[in-house]
Amino acid sequence: MPIETTPVLADAHSAHRAHGAHSPQSAHGAPGTHGAYGAGPAPDADLVAVPFGPGPTAPASAPWLESPVPVDALLAHYEAKGEPGEVVEVPTVRDGGGGVRRVLFYGVGDGSAAALRKAGAAVARRAKGRASLSVVVPSEGDGAALAEGALLAAYAFTVGNGRSKPVGEIVFVGGDERDLKRGEAVARAAALARDLVNTPSSVKTPAWLAEQAKAVAAGSGLGVRVWEESELGEFGGIRAVGQGSISPPCLVQLSYTPENPRAHVVLVGKGITFDTGGLSLKPTEGMKAMKTDMAGGAAVIAAMSALAAFDAPVRVTGLVACAENSISGSAQRPGDVITQYGGRTVEVLNTDAEGRLVLADALAYAHAELDPDVVIDVATLTGAAKVALGVNLGALYATDESLAADLVAAGEAGGERLWRMPLIEDYREMLDSDVADLANVDRRMSGAAGSIAAALFLREFTGGRPWAHLDIAGPARAASDEGEITKGGTGFGVRLLLRYLTAAS
């Protein structure tokens, strides 16, 4: 019997309170909470958040800021510095003197996008459990980042009657409505990725993930194609990884084509809906978070969902290679040799290095059939990347300097940072096989430079096209709430991909 899941994202609709778009739906249609843009704080808002600090500030007095103590004196009393993430809560008189309202003075720092994103997250978390929150937008600065931070921090995903109760409604007061709507659209896309990642694998089979992609395509005006069991004949990597599971693998293709596209970008996402490691079985602790092993595929689906809303000027094709890496009598074995799309043979020395096998098929297909100008793959690929960079940075490998620079810049601007890693040619020989064209891991089984070796393996299937590989094993999942990040799937990659794909507009 399906488990009922409820994703919750506080989002926003128009100032005149016409019915607006709800948060992304779960497979069972549970809606999120909602909010609005307005010209002044909602009269019945439980909390009002007002900016202050060395950067842009709100007026020091207003009808809804009535207090027997001047605002400056209040802030001085609390020794408030106005740093981003700082929140000072004080009681004030409600409009008309009818009781007490709580006001959150929130620091905005230098008013940069990063500072406002952190500030928005701080006020949303302080309003947790409240019915409503009115956020006064600074007169200067990036309102999109403020909305993005607040809405993402108000995200929650529960199974049944979960304990997480984010703020029910957020009203953004002032600011540029176009900026706020842009921030909302980015937050909704990231929340969609989180929903997909956080869904339990008892629900999230490859077929389920493909159905979610179809639903996204229908709602976003995308083309869609799904290769299922009998159609996967040439995709030897996808078939091999999925052959041990009762849930068959598949390949999903989403297509976005604007008028007069300036280029064609292919996004490739790893869609391993659960990873036991296969016969190279993971220990229990290593398996607990493996419902999130399709975070790269989720990022691709979610980024594709928002392209039309941002009028992205490039043609984008998204490929998500979906499989469950399980154990059974039919599972692939260490020592098996498989034939990837395009004919290259691979000796499988470790069945827990399965992500690169499904990605290799998709990359080879993209090169042979789609003629892209740029290829970018996104995957929770190696624990080595997490060891090297921790949980706040994604590893970036690239064969093109301009592409690498653009992705790093997009990550910095969107709050999803990347660190450029080297493709060391001396390490390529580690992947030579005695019986096939390649081995899927270092044939010496040393485990050294595991993230680099995985990137070098993928490069073999790109046909020499401009290519970047994002290993997001660290930042794709979080163990606790921090800033706009919530525990569980983070949706990492969605924001930076959207910035990269829309940068030319």
- Percent of residues in the chain assigned helix, strand, coil, to nearest 5: 35, 20, 45
Integer Cα distance of 461 and 455 in angstroms: 11
Dihedral of CA 109/111/117/119: which sign? positive
Integer Cα distance of 474 and 472 in angstroms: 5
Integer Cα distance of 412 and 417 in angstroms: 5
356 is catalytic: yes
Q: In 10 A of CB 213, how many CB atoms?
A: 29
- Say how many Å lie between the first and final Cα of the chain, rounded: 46
The owner of tokens 């849930």 is: 247
Q: Which of 125, 188, 291, 356 is catalytic?
A: 356
Q: Which of 282, 428, 443, 487 is catalytic?
A: 282
Torsion angle defined by CA atoms of residues 247, 248, 249 and 251, in that order, rounded to the nearest 10 degrees: -120
Question: Which two three-digit tokens encode residue 474?
Answer: 């660290």
How do strand 156-159 and strand 5-8 relate by DSSP bridges? Answer: antiparallel
C-alpha pair distances (Å), 96 with each of 40, 45, 71: 15, 14, 19
**Between 206-220 and 177-198, two packed helices, what is the crossing angle to 10 degrees?**
160
Contact 500, 407 (CB under 8 A): yes
225 is catalytic: no
- Residues with a catalytic annotation lie at 282, 356
